[in-house]
């Protein structure tokens, strides 16, 4: 017989399934099995369940909602996990003040790729996206995923966010709407899932945008020697610093007039296919770091690479990583562009002494913002430069995956020792402490919005709340 005070048994009457699966992130770095796994089929069912938890208590167990599982950190771990994939999707278009049919109200658990597709069917678009479109809209907002551009941002057309929060009596839920320009808006953006459950987003979309994009081999100094010039040359850009090399693979995109090729998207990446085959053939010895065989493969890629160019709608050109066949662990850290020369030297020195990652490091620029907990909030700077340190995780053992964290912690400490300030993306690998969070983010302004019910140990510890469980 179940105990009503045991949160493992707290599920709605007649619930149809409670088989907790093993859950892992896209990069297959983080995995866990929750105590309770709930897949509601309506917002009413979800609200009833959350209200039940509020009144009966969770017994110290943490609560998390699954999105696109794109985060390679414990930010999505929980003892009680709610899968939103069966909730009904809404995407409604209405007229704005000027009469244009471009105001979109959408379910926040909708994945970005579906949001972009539905918008495109109506001739509408966001102004940017991140490198992938696998996240949910709520996931994008909660971690403040950014695009590789200094000219716009993913949320430029976002007008409001609605979310479920705990009422003042602590026993029920209320729906809150925060509009752009409200004092609370900068807390909702990059809220880390700690202020409530985002249910609805409202955008004032722009007419469909079209881009020409391409890949080519480039020398690092040609792209990173004058970052301002590179940002002026390309609307979007990112260079992949190939391990041990002085060159990289440059991806770029510029807006074009007209419609381009409506159905054209990136062809399969031949280089990634070669890497996949290499790891399949060398899975025992490849590991998380460079070796002679892998270095030879990268050298051959440079001579064999054929430049690629496509054009089409933004949703086909900008989310360039959507078809990546390989799984990747990533740390995404932001820096002042003025520190770029020193940063490159620190990274190179560290990697030469402690091994290079087995995959290229992405370098790109992102427009800054004023969101309280955002890693892109750098007062006084118009944009920052991001280093995305990547490791292929396919065929790695559990011990080899742990080596990635040790390697990155050493790099984190080396950059600190060099006196270079930086901030970390919450949804990627990081080593944030409460002291560092208080120093680098606007924690004092953010904490009044936090409701511990929605946090897990990963978030609570970094916010200085201690562990929830």
Per-residue pLDDT at 73: 86
Last residue of a domain, one of 147, 178, 207: 207
The yes-or-no verdict on residue 372 having pLDDT over 60 is: yes
**Which residue is associated with the tokens 């995780």?**
393
**Which residue is associated with the tokens 């539905």?**
118
Whether 135 and 67 map to the same domain: the answer is: no
The yes-or-no verdict on residue 5 having pLDDT over 60 is: no
Per-residue pLDDT at 282: 63
Whether 197 and 103 map to the same domain: the answer is: yes
**Which residue is associated with the tokens 């009144």?**
55
Whether 103 and 180 map to the same domain: the answer is: yes
- Separation of alpha carbons 458 and 335, rounded Å: 23
Residue 3, token pair as written in the block: 């105990």
In-domain check, residue 46: yes
pLDDT confidence bin for 4, thresholds 50/70/90: very low
- Tell me the torsion sign for CA atoms 52, 57, 59, 63: positive
Average pLDDT over residues 89-114: 95
**Mean pLDDT lowest for which of 12-26, 52-66, 91-105, 432-446?**
12-26
- 140, 125 Cβ separation under 8 angstroms: no
Domain hosting 235: range is: 210-428
In-domain check, residue 384: yes
**Which residue is associated with the tokens 């290229």?**
360
The yes-or-no verdict on residue 354 having pLDDT over 70 is: yes
Helix (H) and strand (E) counts in the chain: 14, 20
CATH number, position 346: 3.40.462.10
The yes-or-no verdict on residue 21 having pLDDT over 90 is: no
How would DSSP label each residue in 357-420? BSSPEEEEEEE----TT-TT--TT-SEEEEEEEEEE-TT--HHHHHHHHHHHHHHHHHHHHTT-
Whether 190 and 325 map to the same domain: the answer is: no
Last residue of a domain, one of 57, 83, 109: 83
Q: Please name every residue paired with 92 in a beta bridge, in sequence order, or none if there are none.
A: 105
C-alpha distances in Å from residue 175, one per residue of 57, 132, 161, 409: 21, 30, 10, 40
pLDDT confidence bin for 264, thresholds 50/70/90: low
Per-residue pLDDT at 306: 85
Whether 272 and 421 map to the same domain: the answer is: yes
pLDDT confidence bin for 443, thresholds 50/70/90: very high
Share of the chain above pLDDT 90, in %: 70
Whether 76 and 112 map to the same domain: the answer is: no
Per-residue pLDDT at 6: 45
Whether 396 and 282 map to the same domain: the answer is: yes
In-domain check, residue 2: no
What is this structure's pTM? 0.92
Whether 308 and 174 map to the same domain: the answer is: no
**Residue 113: helix, strand or coil by DSSP?**
helix
137-193 residue pLDDT tens: 999 999 999 999 999 999 999 999 999 999 999 999 999 999 999 999 999 999 999
In-domain check, residue 176: yes
CATH number, position 185: 3.30.465.10
In-domain check, residue 469: yes
Whether 154 and 105 map to the same domain: the answer is: yes
Whether 395 and 346 map to the same domain: the answer is: yes
Whether 403 and 288 map to the same domain: the answer is: yes
Task: Give burial (CB, 10 Å; 0-12/13-18/19+) of 4.
Answer: exposed
In-domain check, residue 1: no
Q: Between 281 and 14, where is the model more confident?
A: 281
The yes-or-no verdict on residue 279 having pLDDT over 50 is: yes
Per-residue pLDDT at 26: 81
297-350 residue pLDDT tens: 888 888 888 898 989 899 989 987 766 667 889 999 999 999 999 999 999 999
The yes-or-no verdict on residue 437 having pLDDT over 90 is: yes
Last residue of a domain, one of 396, 411, 428: 428
Domain count of the fold of the chain? 4
Q: Between 17 and 352, where is the model more confident?
A: 352
Per-residue pLDDT at 280: 66
In-domain check, residue 225: yes
Whether 403 and 293 map to the same domain: the answer is: yes
Q: Which residues of 59-83 are buried (b: 16+ CB within 10 A; e: fewer)?
A: eebbbbbbbbbbbbbbbbbbbbbbb
Mean pLDDT rounded to a whole number for the chain: 90
């Amino acid at each position: 017989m179940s105990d009503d005070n045991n949160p493992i048994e707290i599920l709605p009457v007649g619930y149809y399934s409670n088989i907790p699966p093993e859950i892992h992130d896209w990069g297959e770095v983080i995995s866990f099995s929750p105590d309770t796994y709930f897949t509601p089929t309506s917002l009413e069912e979800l609200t009833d369940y959350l209200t039940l938890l509020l009144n009966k208590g969770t017994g110290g167990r943490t609560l998390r909602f699954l999105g696109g599982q794109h985060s390679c950190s414990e930010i999505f771990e929980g003892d009680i996990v709610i899968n939103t994939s069966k909730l009904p999707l809404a995407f409604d278009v209405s007229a704005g003040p000027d009469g244009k049919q471009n105001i979109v109200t959408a379910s926040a658990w909708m994945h970005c790729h579906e949001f972009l597709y539905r918008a495109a069917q109506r001739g509408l678009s966001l102004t940017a996206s991140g490198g992938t479109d696998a996240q949910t809209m709520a996931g994008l907002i909660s971690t403040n995923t950014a695009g590789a551009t200094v000219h716009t941002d993913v949320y430029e057309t976002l007008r409001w966010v609605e979310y479920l929060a705990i009422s003042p009596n602590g026993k029920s839920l209320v729906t809150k709407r925060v509009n752009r320009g409200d004092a609370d808006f900068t807390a909702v953006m990059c809220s880390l899932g700690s202020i409530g459950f985002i249910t609805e987003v409202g955008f004032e979309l722009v007419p469909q945008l079209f881009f020409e994009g391409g890949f080519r081999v480039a020398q690092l100094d040609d792209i990173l020697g004058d970052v301002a010039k590179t940002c002026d040359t390309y609307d979007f850009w990112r260079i992949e610093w190939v391990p041990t090399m002085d060159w990289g693979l440059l991806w770029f995109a510029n807006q074009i007039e007209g419609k381009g090729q409506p159905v054209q998207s990136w062809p399969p990446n031949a280089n990634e296919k070669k890497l996949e085959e290499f790891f399949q053939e060398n899975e025992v010895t490849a590991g998380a770091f460079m070796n002679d065989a892998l270095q030879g493969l990268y050298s051959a890629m440079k001579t064999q690479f054929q430049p690629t160019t496509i054009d089409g709608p933004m949703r086909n050109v900008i989310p360039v990583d959507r078809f990546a066949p390989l799984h990747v662990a990533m740390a995404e850290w932001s820096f002042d562009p003025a520190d770029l020369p020193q940063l490159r030297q620190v990274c190179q020195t560290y990697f030469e002494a402690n091994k290079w990652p087995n995959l290229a490091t992405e370098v790109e620029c992102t427009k800054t913002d004023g969101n309280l907990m955002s890693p892109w909030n750098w007062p006084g700077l118009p944009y920052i430069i991001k280093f995305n340190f990547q490791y292929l995780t396919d065929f790695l053992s559990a011990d080899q995956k742990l080596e990635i964290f040790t390697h990155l912690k050493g790099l984190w400490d080396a950059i600190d020792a060099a006196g270079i300030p930086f901030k970390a993306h919450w949804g990627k690998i990081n080593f944030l402490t409460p002291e560092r969070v208080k120093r680098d983010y606007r924690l004092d302004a953010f904490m009044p919005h936090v409701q511990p019910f929605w946090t897990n140990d990963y978030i609570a510890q970094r916010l200085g709340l201690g562990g929830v469980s």
